[in-house]
Amino acid sequence: MAVYTDFSDEELQQFIRGYDLGAVQSLKGIAEGVENSNYLLATEAGQFILTLYEKRVDPDDLPFFLGLMDHLAARGINCPTPVHDRQGQALGRLANRPAAIVTFLAGIWVRRPRVQHCAAVGRALAGMHRAADGFALTRRNALSVDGWRPLYEACGGRADEVQAGLGNEIESELAFLEANWPDDLPAGVIHADLFPDNVFFLGDELSGLIDFYFACNDMLAYDAAVCLNAWCFESDGSLNVTKARALLSGYAAVRPFTDAEIRALPMLARGAALRFLLTRLYDWLSVPDGALVVPKDPAEFYRKLRFHRSVTDAGAYGLDL
């Protein structure tokens, strides 16, 4: 659930005067982005998103995130582009928090993705991977294999509160993935969270990618495995292989997979499912009783994990081997 930091008119006016954007015409808190406070800001210069970075974001990571958006936008990727202030800075300060203004992106996110949306996402993901090549900064993926066990331990052995036997399953999966996780696949900057709410469409045309606040350096094919989990399962928990094929072939049309990546895909998909299972489990167990905010269901990714465990090769995802 988004946080809404409030600030005075004077603070806002003073902040905006630092930019070449004219006078403020409208400011509305928007219900997007879990980690930060986001506002739709209209000024004489147009529409923008104003983001205040709340405590879940490490300020030291902000130059990576903002620099990446600058880098991608300069290479033709449709993504929010940081607006630089009169001193040339993308990162400012408002209400005692790091703050940035980025360009507004038209489009709406698709609640029920269809095959053509999956194909478009695959192409866009590969395009982003290619465009990110040459970006100078790096950021470790804190939510990759090394981070999963600490995250599980932070759940304090309470996994079975969600589903009986879940704790044992997670422990055996952790042991397996720690022993078998690949480390020699092509790597680069990945989005790491390209779920449907982070992809905008105008009609059936993909109009942009947003929310780069999990972006990091990791194996590129892992990012495709995240998308496979995020876009290609039906609400009954089954994989839609037509969507999976569309997503992966869309990706491969822009950046062909190596043979090693194709072989690793079932393992990467297991890891991606476990990563979202663990963060959702942690959030689920952390929400106080009676809270009005309902966290997302961890069991959804447990079902996906079990599916990937049954997979022997990437043919199950519709990839021609």
Binding site for its own copies (CB under 8 A): 1-2, 4, 6-10, 12, 23-32, 40, 42, 104, 106-108, 110-112, 202-203, 287-293
The three-point CA angle 90-96-97 to 5° equals 45
Write the DSSP symbol of residue 233.
Answer: B
Using a CB cutoff of 8 Å and minimum separation of 24, what contacts does 285-293 make?
Answer: 285/155, 285/156, 285/158, 285/161, 285/162, 293/1
| Cβ proximity to its own copies, 32 vs 171, nearer residue | 32
- How many Cβ atoms sit within 10 Å of the Cβ of residue 59? 11
Q: How far is the CB of 91 from its own copies (least distance, A)?
A: 23
| Cβ proximity to its own copies, 164 vs 292, nearer residue | 292
| Cβ proximity to its own copies, 10 vs 259, nearer residue | 10
Strands (DSSP E) contained in 138-274 are 187-190, 199-202, 205-209, 216-219
Q: How far is the CB of 183 from its own copies (least distance, A)?
A: 39
Q: How far is the CB of 5 from its own copies (least distance, A)?
A: 11
| Cβ proximity to its own copies, 6 vs 236, nearer residue | 6
Burial of 320 (C-beta count, 10 Å sphere; 0-12/13-18/19+):
exposed
Q: How far is the CB of 302 from its own copies (least distance, A)?
A: 23
| Cβ proximity to its own copies, 2 vs 187, nearer residue | 2
Chain Cα centroid distance, residue 299: 19
Q: How far is the CB of 307 from its own copies (least distance, A)?
A: 24
Q: What is the largest CA-CA distance in the chain?
A: 61
